[in-house]
Structure 1
Amino acid sequence: MREKEIKKEWMDAQKAGFTGWDFSRIAASVSEDPLPWDYKEIVLAHIKPEDHLLDMGTGGGEFLLELGHPYDNTTVTEAWEPNVKLCKEKLAPLGIRVEQVFEDAVLPFEDHAFDLVINRHEAYDISEVRRILKPGGCFITQQVGGRNNEWLSGFLIEDFQPEYPGLFLQKEKEKFLAHGFNIEANQEAFPFMRFYDVPAIVYYAKILEWEFPGFSVETHVERLKNLQEMISERGYIETLEHRFFLVARNNK
């Protein structure tokens, strides 16, 4: 009976809804080593009230609203339909421009439209970023690197191959320099993340489907049982995260 109850907990976690970029549902079951930088502080150090700001891949606008930037100088993009709907309901009435995007290399903006473009964990096309930035404008991004969740993905998914194996800070810096940017700040880190129960892992894996392709409780139940045994023995499962940030100035 206990095994059935456990599997039901896993299935409930798999079915749980997700909007914006809000992991509060599993906050009590997860801990992360802090990054050696503060993305919000970096952004605030570069933004002025008069700046035309673009937040790429805003999710539900949770982080954006923390910045307190004038709404009429703020634009967001988002690709995922549920988040687009959320942004139109939550951000558009404030006066924030909301645009759905379908291709990184085709953004619906005029040349030199923005003083500052920010991007946290969203894909981008460097040429297109440069096109929409004003001369001297700034691009700030924090990215999930190619080694993120390397161990956990490999444990759950047989023959796992990372989607972005070459995504490292040094390579990105080289690309920005080749496109005429100056790099003003950058750093890379590999903090640990710990899961204290299996339902949190299930919830996380279903959301980050590009890191756990084909994952489901039904097809990976034996691997989940193995993880449950590990948690019972030592209290948590530990995986390595991979993050980097860079601040690039359009030297056009």
Structure 2
Amino acid sequence: MNKKTYKALWKAEESHAFQGWDFSYLDGRWELSDPPWDYRALVLSLLGPHERLLDMGTGGGEFLLSLHHPYALTSVSEGYPPNVALCRRVLEPLGITVGEVSGDDCLPFAGDSFDLVINRHEAFSPAEVCRVLRRGGYFLTQQVGGQNNRDLSERLIEHFQPAFPHHTLQNNVHALEGQGFEILRAQEAFLPERFYDVGALAFYCRIIKWEFPGFSVDGCYERLLALQQQLEAGRPIEGTAHRFLILAHKK
């Protein structure tokens, strides 16, 4: 395959449509090791059938719907306009309350509304989570840490600097403790990640813009070609994912 053909393929991947927060398009082309905890099992262990649940940053509600929690007791927040529209189309008719947000520090729900607030890869304000959570309730979050994909970003983006270098487990624990939360669990992991074709990486970089600032196939073409040569030599494109988990209790 010649360089022109590669470029056309990668540009097509770069512009491929993306909906919700669903990366199934990359199945078989991208591999990310699981963290040493089971987020879904933890959610279910905390979620009683009569408790009120908020899923922050629900995306398109894909994970939320897998919980099969009573819809009348379920609310979601989402800030990305295409996903808000998707939630209104898919979740609202089920009876799930959809709250549109424009910032981390203003959730559109009354205080003391929820028994459990869950958050998977969404920014949050500890003070605002504390406000909407009932006394005795729990906050469970799995976060993408500030060092996520740094090794890959440095290979593709000249003079790369992480967008959120202070987004660490320790800093988030301290922020939650500052709001009076009791930390029941705090765990961190650095996980191997692999891409098996350059097109998959181009699609991913276009979605995760804050980790690959200014990325484009045109602008990073020579670096992408070097990665293609690496693949042809039998070596996958490898990176490192950064994850951490916190379970906090509102006393």
TM-score (norm 2): 0.98
- Give per-residue Cα distances to partners, 1:190-244, cap 9 Å, x unaligned: 0100001100000000000000111011111111111111111233111000001
C-alpha distance in 2, partners of 1:94/1:34?
31
Answering whether residue 152 of structure 2 is matched by residue 167 of structure 1, we say no
Answering whether residue 17 of structure 2 is matched by residue 17 of structure 1, we say yes
Give how far 1:2 is off.
2.1
C-alpha distance in 2, partners of 1:87/1:235?
40
| Aligned amino acid, residue 215 of structure 2 | F
C-alpha distance in 2, partners of 1:150/1:233?
23
C-alpha distance in 1, partners of 2:234/2:36?
27
Q: Which residue of 1 aligns with 2:144?
A: 144
TM-score (norm 1): 0.98
Residue 214 of structure 2 aligns to a residue whose secondary structure is coil
Q: Which residue of 2 aligns with 1:226?
A: 226
**Identity across the alignment (%):** 49
Structure 1: gaps (5+ residues): none
Root-mean-square deviation (CA, aligned residues, Å) is 0.9
C-alpha distance in 2, partners of 1:139/1:14?
36
Q: Which residue of 1 aligns with 2:178?
A: 178
C-alpha distance in 2, partners of 1:45/1:178?
26
How do 1:121-132 residues align onto structure 2 when only pairs under 5 Å count? 121-132=121-132
Report how many residues are paired.
Answer: 251
C-alpha distance in 1, partners of 2:178/2:106?
20
Answering whether residue 139 of structure 2 is matched by residue 116 of structure 1, we say no
C-alpha distance in 1, partners of 2:161/2:187?
25
| Aligned amino acid, residue 98 of structure 1 | V
Residue 17 of structure 2 aligns to a residue whose secondary structure is coil
- Give runs of ≥4 in structure 1 deviating > 4 Å: none
Give how far 1:92 is off.
0.5
Q: Which residue of 2 aligns with 1:97?
A: 97
Residue 137 of structure 1 aligns to a residue whose secondary structure is strand
Give how far 1:58 is off.
0.2
